[in-house]
A and B are shown apart, each in its own frame.
Chain A
Amino acid sequence: MKTKNLTLNVWRQRSKSDSGRFEKYVAKDVNEHMSFLEMLDVVNEELLEKGEEPIAFDHDCREGICGMCGLVINGYAHGPQERTTACQLHMRKVFELGWDELWIEPWRATSFPVIKDLAVDRSAFDRIMQAGGYISIRTGSPPDANEMPIGKHVADMAMDAAECIGCGACVAACPNASASLFTSAKVSHLGLLPQGQAEREDRVRKMVGQMDAEGFGSCTNHGECEKACPKGISIDWIARMNREFLKAMVTADNEVEERD
């Protein structure tokens, strides 16, 4: 079992209004089987013992499915391992790359203000979801299984889009801090399924309207989001969203209101 000492440069920011700075810490005897967050936990234990403020970072499930964690590690959103969230990144990967010094930054986007240190406020995503990321149904007794026929390829595609965990790595990695990948996955996931047809035209317009109102940048087709996404959401969804949006804006019989 390998252990190693690492130098950490961690972004410390007291509050949203604080300007923030990097602080240097030494993580001693880091075990190769630790997850990245466990390594930070150990650093925090030491800080607490010394009576210092621990490093704030977001986390919840720690199994790569909740979308809470998010760190930019040496310039990589969620770290250097493809299709892996920061919590599922293990220190052996960091050792493999021969990194002795790490730079740990929060997601940087005007629409994701820093709450503290590495934790950012992603409620802009919640507001995009509230704008149209739902379907309206009558609840009641459960419908029969397979009552509504859905083609296998449609179900598969909807599932691919639904893989998005809303972590915000796409925004973090985008040179323009655009939320196009997230919004497109959410628009498409419901837009593909029969249950999502009733609100289809409204959904795409309302969600894009909200995305713009939140101040995210526009998509310039660099493809950085797709590479950073821990779930491998494809930029093909962005093209699909653009198509749906333009079509709805030109042909829909009703209008939706502008958000600001």
Chain B
Amino acid sequence: MERALTLTKTTIGKKALMALSGVAMLGFVIGHLSGNLKVFAGAEDFNEYAVWLRTMPGLLWGTRIVLLGALAAHMASAFSLWSRNKSARKSRYTKKKDLATDYAAKTMYWSGPILFFYIVFHLVHLTFGGMIFGESAVFGIEGYEWDHSNPYNNMVLGFQHWAVVVPYVLGVVALGVHLFHGIWSAFQTVGLNHTKYNFLRRDLSIALAVFITAGFLSIPVAVLAGWIEPTTQTFFYPELEPS
């Protein structure tokens, strides 16, 4: 039977879906980073920002739905293309020289899954943390009690322990490496190229990857160096109770 060629079944269509969902998630990451950097402004600012995120109509669930959809699309296209590419060369070369590719490009199938597992860990820790750990210590870390009304302390106290810092650093570095190739690759995939601006595509990927990695890493560094300390102030925000 003759069927019309459908975009999502083609390799380029799947790549475009991967690029667009990647850009959506990149947008979130940039917003998430700029929000998290409020930790440097102090506990009050940070916690009020958390309340604002919760009380903006539609923001929380709108973001969640878009991100879940983007993640599902990104992973489904990646898996489908990965299995296709694997079967496109069944007999391997004995000798093969890489002439152009780089570490980031070659490890996309590693940095991606690492990021996925980190995201799961991150959600268990900070999104479902209150529900999972209740009144007991988070990840069994002594003195690390959950406080719904004080996201600032939930974050800062966590970064005093290797069990939180190590996966975080791994996740953030994987993100940086993934973005280094991913951002440039997205331009190429959707056909955004022009000889006048092509050099900017590489520069932009490097700048964004470095900025995002350094930005996220600055928080545990500041906590471990003692520049940011847990607050002794008490807060009461019923808006931050798990809903």
Q: Spell out A's residues near B (CB within 8 Å).
A: 9, 20, 22, 72, 74-76, 103, 105, 108-111, 173, 175-178, 205, 208-209, 211-212, 215-224, 226-228, 235-236, 238-246, 249-250, 255-259
Q: At the interface, is chain A mostly helix, strand, loop or mixed?
A: mixed
B95 adjacent to A219 (CB under 8 Å):
no
Number of residues on chain B facing chain A (CB within 8 A): 47
A74 adjacent to B95 (CB under 8 Å):
yes
Distance between A108 CB and nearest chain B CB, rounded to angstroms: 5
Q: Which of B16, B93, B184 contacts A221 (CB 8 A)?
A: B184
In the bound complex, CA of A9 to CA of B95 (Å): 11
Residues on the A chain within 8 Å of B185, using CB? 220-221
B191 adjacent to A222 (CB under 8 Å):
no
A217 adjacent to B12 (CB under 8 Å):
no
B98 closest partner in A (C-beta): A224
Residues on the A chain within 8 Å of B7, using CB? 246, 249-250
In the bound complex, CA of A30 to CA of B93 (Å): 26
Residues on the B chain within 8 Å of A244, using CB? 191
For the complex, is B34 an interface residue (Cβ under 8 Å from A)? no
B193 adjacent to A218 (CB under 8 Å):
no
Residues on the A chain within 8 Å of B15, using CB? 218-219, 242
B4 closest partner in A (C-beta): A255
Given contacts A242-B15, A242-B191, A245-B12, contact A220 B85 (CB under 8 A): yes
Residues on the A chain within 8 Å of B192, using CB? 239, 243
Residues on the A chain within 8 Å of B87, using CB? 110, 215
A256 adjacent to B105 (CB under 8 Å):
no
Given contacts A75-B97, A103-B95, A246-B16, contact A209 B88 (CB under 8 A): no
Distance between A222 CB and nearest chain B CB, rounded to angstroms: 4
In the bound complex, CA of A250 to CA of B193 (Å): 19
Residues on the B chain within 8 Å of A22, using CB? 94
B97 adjacent to A239 (CB under 8 Å):
no
B108 adjacent to A249 (CB under 8 Å):
no
A-B residue pair count with CB separations less than 8 angstroms: 153
Given contacts A22-B94, A72-B93, A212-B10, contact A218 B5 (CB under 8 A): no
Given contacts A74-B95, A221-B181, A242-B16, contact A236 B10 (CB under 8 A): no
In the bound complex, CA of A125 to CA of B95 (Å): 25
In the bound complex, CA of A209 to CA of B11 (Å): 9
Residues on the A chain within 8 Å of B9, using CB? 258
Residues on the A chain within 8 Å of B105, using CB? 220-222
16 A–B contacts, CB within 8 A, in A order: A74-B95, A175-B106, A176-B85, A208-B11, A220-B81, A221-B189, A224-B101, A239-B187, A240-B191, A241-B12, A242-B15, A242-B191, A243-B193, A245-B10, A255-B4, A258-B3
B88 adjacent to A240 (CB under 8 Å):
no
A173 closest partner in B (C-beta): B99
Distance between A231 CB and nearest chain B CB, rounded to angstroms: 15
B15 closest partner in A (C-beta): A218
In the bound complex, CA of A40 to CA of B3 (Å): 48
Residues on the A chain within 8 Å of B16, using CB? 242, 246
Distance between B140 CB and nearest chain A CB, rounded to angstroms: 41
For the complex, is B65 an interface residue (Cβ under 8 Å from A)? no
A172 closest partner in B (C-beta): B93
B4 adjacent to A108 (CB under 8 Å):
no
A74 adjacent to B97 (CB under 8 Å):
yes
Residues on the B chain within 8 Å of A240, using CB? 191, 193
Residues on the A chain within 8 Å of B84, using CB? 217-218
In the bound complex, CA of A242 to CA of B7 (Å): 12
B13 adjacent to A75 (CB under 8 Å):
no
In the bound complex, CA of A48 to CA of B65 (Å): 69
Distance between B100 CB and nearest chain A CB, rounded to angstroms: 4
For the complex, is B195 an interface residue (Cβ under 8 Å from A)? yes
Residues on the A chain within 8 Å of B101, using CB? 175, 222-224
A9-B94, A176-B89, A244-B191 given; name 9 further pairs at CB < 8 Å.
Answer: A103-B94, A205-B5, A220-B81, A221-B185, A222-B101, A222-B106, A242-B190, A256-B4, A257-B2
